[in-house]
Amino acid sequence: MERITISQLQNWKKTKKKFAAITAYDFSFSRLFSNQGIPVILVGDSLGMTIQGHTSTLPVKIKDIEYHTKAVRKGAPNTFLLSDLPFMSYYDTRETLKNTGKIIRSGANMIKIEGGKWLVEIVKELSNRSILVCGHIGLTPQSFNYLSGYKIQGRDKNDANKLIDEAYLLEESGIKMLVVECIPEKLAEKITANLSIPVIGIGSGKNTDGQILVMHDLLGITQGKIPSFAKNFLSESGSIQKAIKKYIDEVEKGIYPGKKYSF
């Protein structure tokens, strides 16, 4: 795979080329995903549940993200690599800069942080230092206690308008990509159309610039409740390699997620 850059992702948005992304946490899977043509990988704090066996992402620490980022980068040297800043690792500018430095030095191209308006100054500080930032709005798993669980966001008009405003604010502050999670398809479509940066959806319909899934959901090996928007690509493919190829193909053609996997 040729080296994927933020400029390339931005150009894909302009040319309306959809792209697939996936989470990964180790060398072997990241190499497999890269070899099959996945352009974007996220070292997500979802590792708290998928790897560590916790019931949420909250126990994940910076050292965990560092460790897994290094492993994934070795497996996917040319993939565009995002890494999450975990819970309470970006509560002020000084702490954010320190922790971001650790993650970037571990091999990430971009860091991802969850939240809206309160992140504006932190995003500006990071952007002023030429650090690529991905925002994350809608269902933000680090806030699941505040949100009273993992629920669809932006269903009523006020909540939808708040998410739209937050998307604009974050882009103005300097984010170069945005993840929208578990919001209605029409809302995700509107946000995507009105931002100049790539928007990646998860559980938010097919009209975003890209799609991302947790690898365990995509491969049908999730323990416990499987998200309603997750499709088991392995069950109809016969091998992991073919499942990844099918996922990429369906995302690029706008087949996945269809109505069955959208809100």
Angle, helices 120-128 vs 93-105, to 10°: value is 50
Beta strands, E only, the chain: 19-23, 40-43, 80-84, 110-114, 132-138, 177-181, 199-202, 210-213
Closest CA to 10 of 1, 23, 19: 19
Contact residues for 168 (Cβ-Cβ < 8 A; gap 6+): 194, 195
Between the CA of residue 102 and those of 68, 98, 109, 133, 243, what are the distances in Å? Answer: 12, 7, 12, 14, 33
- Is residue 124 part of an annotated ligand binding site? no
Catalytic residue among 125, 166, 171, 181: 181
Count of beta carbons in the 10 Å neighbourhood of residue 169: 16
Ligand-binding annotation for 2, yes or no, is: no
Q: 143: annotated binding-site residue?
A: no
Q: 159 labelled as ligand-binding? A: no
Catalytic residue list contains 2? no
- 46 annotated binding-site participant: yes
Tokens at 84, concatenated: 């999450």
Contact 99, 88 (CB under 8 A): no
Residue found under tokens 């069950």: 235
CA distance 158 to 230: 27
Are residues 188 and 208 in contact, defined by beta-carbon separation less than 8 angstroms? Answer: yes
Annotated binding site for 3-methyl-2-oxobutanoate: 45-46, 84, 112
Q: What residues act catalytically?
A: 181
Annotated binding site: 45-46, 84, 112, 114
Annotated binding site for Mg(2+): 45, 84, 114
